[in-house]
């Protein structure tokens, strides 16, 4: 048993090492670099034309127009043809004419030769197939049609990281999750669905209740409509008619504040809100004050919050731990994984990663 446990630990460490966060940027020489494992690595010395990055990799168009990809281990040439491409934290989708291709963890695959519009999310790729006039989804190495559309094809805007809401020809709303399709209701009007990861929420026009969908089940969270709501990774946050702000997760509700929030936002594992000119978040079910003012700008992703501090510089909160990154004003910032990249006025860069600050 000890040998098995040790082997499992080694395997877990190996997997985590293979999934390093890539933090790409252009430096003051216009070289294309990335931060990883406490250091900086040059990917290209010639100016790149464009790049898009998720947590696990960066895809970019090099100076010759080639689409390339770097996943923290090796650089890979994808194609030297003109492409339209999108990335998520884990997937790359790219079109050469009507041919839609994808990359996932080192594996290339063609999804259709009759593609048109497509959308890439963390765990799925949604796309139109004009050959059969179908709306299709790629999920876990498999492709399946969601609906055959009579009339004009469309890609729904109600798409989460691993969950999709769409409407068939009979105005029947359906949800795709974990390879299965569930019926919601038939309704001719518009419905505001908010989708995250493994969960969605909406005001149900047929029952007049506020509903959450998770684990294949629909649950009435509240007996009346809610004013505003958003979904994160396995939880939802909503504002009731009395302006109270609530957090719902796995059947449990937490009152975040009964003061009127000046703002609030949700993404991935993070919720932030303003209360009495203070900024707060929730860490392991505990309300935590981030700042004693309302920042002029902020970004949230995964377990990380980056915001403009009182001096105009940048501070970060990772897993509830606050760090002042710089006091230099007008610095730009962006989150990759749980690392924060900061660009200073002189085009030098700082990275907050694992509680330490690195500079190039």
Q: What is the pLDDT along the chain (360 residues), one digit of tens a residue?
A: 333 333 333 333 333 434 458 999 999 999 999 998 889 999 999 999 999 999 999 999 999 999 999 999 999 999 999 999 999 999 999 999 999 999 999 999 999 999 999 999 999 999 999 999 999 999 999 999 999 988 888 889 899 999 999 999 888 999 999 999 999 999 998 999 999 999 999 999 999 999 999 999 999 999 999 999 999 999 999 999 999 999 999 999 999 999 888 899 999 999 999 999 999 999 999 999 999 999 999 999 999 999 999 999 999 999 999 999 999 998 999 999 999 999 999 999 999 999 999 998
DSSP-assigned letters across all residues of 73-125: S-EEEEESS--EEEE-SSEEEEEETTEEEEEETTEEEEEESSEEEEEE-SSEE
pLDDT of residue 13: 37
Distance between CA atoms of residues 169 and 149, nearest Å: 6
Report how far apart, in Å, the C-alpha atoms of 142 and of each of 92, 110, 175 are.
15, 11, 17
Distance between CA atoms of residues 338 and 349, nearest Å: 16
Asked if 231 and 200 count as a contact pair (C-beta separation under 8 A), the reply is yes
What does the pLDDT look like over 142-198, one tens digit per residue?
A: 999 999 988 888 889 899 999 999 999 888 999 999 999 999 999 998 999 999 999
The two three-digit tokens of residue 127, written as one number: 């796309």
Boundary of a domain, candidates 17, 48, 80: 80
The two three-digit tokens of residue 77, written as one number: 């040439």
Domain that holds residue 309: 264-360
130 part of a folded domain: no
pLDDT of residue 134: 96
Boundary of a domain, candidates 58, 80, 102: 80
pLDDT of residue 260: 86
Q: Which residues pair with 231 in a beta bridge?
A: 236
Strands 236-239 and 245-249: antiparallel
Output the CA torsion 298→300→303→306 (10° steps). -20
272 part of a folded domain: yes
Phi and psi at residue 260, in whole multiples of 5°?
-70, 115
234 part of a folded domain: no
The two three-digit tokens of residue 249, written as one number: 């997760």
Boundary of a domain, candidates 49, 80, 111: 80
Q: Residue 21 carries which DSSP code?
A: P
Distance between CA atoms of residues 40 and 358, nearest Å: 9
Q: What angle do CA 234, 236, 239 make, to 5 degrees?
A: 175
Asked if 148 and 174 count as a contact pair (C-beta separation under 8 A), the reply is no
The two three-digit tokens of residue 287, written as one number: 């309300």
Number of domains in the chain: 2
Q: Residue 168 carries which DSSP code?
A: -
Helix (H, G, I), strand (E, B) or coil at 154: coil
The two three-digit tokens of residue 339, written as one number: 């690392």
Distance between CA atoms of residues 72 and 70, nearest Å: 6
- Please state the pTM of the whole predicted model: 0.90
49 part of a folded domain: yes
61 part of a folded domain: yes
pLDDT of residue 17: 38
What does the pLDDT look like over 251-301, one tens digit per residue?
A: 999 999 998 888 999 999 999 999 999 999 999 999 999 999 999 999 999
46 part of a folded domain: yes
282 part of a folded domain: yes
190 part of a folded domain: no
pLDDT of residue 21: 80
């Amino acid at each position: 048993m000890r040998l098995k446990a040790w082997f499992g630990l080694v395997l877990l460490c190996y997997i985590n090492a293979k999934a390093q966060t890539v933090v790409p940027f252009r430096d003051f020489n216009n070289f294309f670099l990335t931060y990883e494992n406490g250091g900086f690595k040059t990917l290209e010395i010639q100016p790149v034309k464009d790049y898009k990055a998720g947590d696990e990799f960066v895809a970019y168009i090099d100076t010759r127009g080639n689409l390339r990809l770097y996943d923290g281990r090796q650089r890979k040439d994808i194609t030297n043809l003109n492409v339209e491409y999108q990335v998520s934290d884990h997937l790359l989708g790219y079109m050469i004419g009507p041919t839609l291709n994808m990359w996932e963890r080192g594996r290339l695959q063609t999804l259709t030769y009759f593609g048109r519009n497509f959308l890439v999310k963390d765990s799925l790729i949604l796309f139109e197939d004009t050959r059969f006039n179908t709306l299709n989804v790629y999920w876990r190495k498999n492709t399946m049609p969601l609906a055959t559309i009579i009339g004009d094809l469309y890609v729904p805007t109600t798409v989460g990281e691993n969950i999709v809401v769409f409407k068939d020809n009979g105005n029947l709303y359906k949800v795709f999750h974990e390879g299965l399709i569930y019926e919601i209701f038939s309704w001719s009007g518009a419905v505001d669905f908010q989708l995250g990861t493994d969960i969605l929420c909406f005001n149900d026009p047929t029952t007049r209740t506020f509903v959450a969908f998770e684990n294949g089940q629909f649950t009435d969270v509240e007996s009346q409509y809610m004013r505003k709501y958003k979904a994160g990774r396995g939880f939802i946050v909503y504002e009731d008619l009395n302006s109270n702000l609530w957090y719902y997760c796995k059947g449990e509700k937490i009152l975040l504040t009964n003061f009127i929030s000046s703002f609030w936002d949700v993404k991935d594992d993070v919720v932030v809100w303003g209360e009495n000119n203070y900024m707060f978040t929730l860490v392991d079910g505990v309300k935590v004050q981030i700042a004693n003012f309302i920042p002029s700008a902020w970004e949230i992703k995964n377990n990380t919050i980056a915001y403009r501090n009182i001096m105009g510089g940048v501070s970060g909160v990772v897993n509830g731990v606050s760090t002042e990154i710089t006091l230099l004003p007008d610095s730009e910032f962006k989150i990759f994984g749980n690392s924060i990249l900061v660009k200073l006025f002189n085009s030098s860069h700082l990275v907050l990663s694992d509680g330490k600050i690195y500079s190039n």
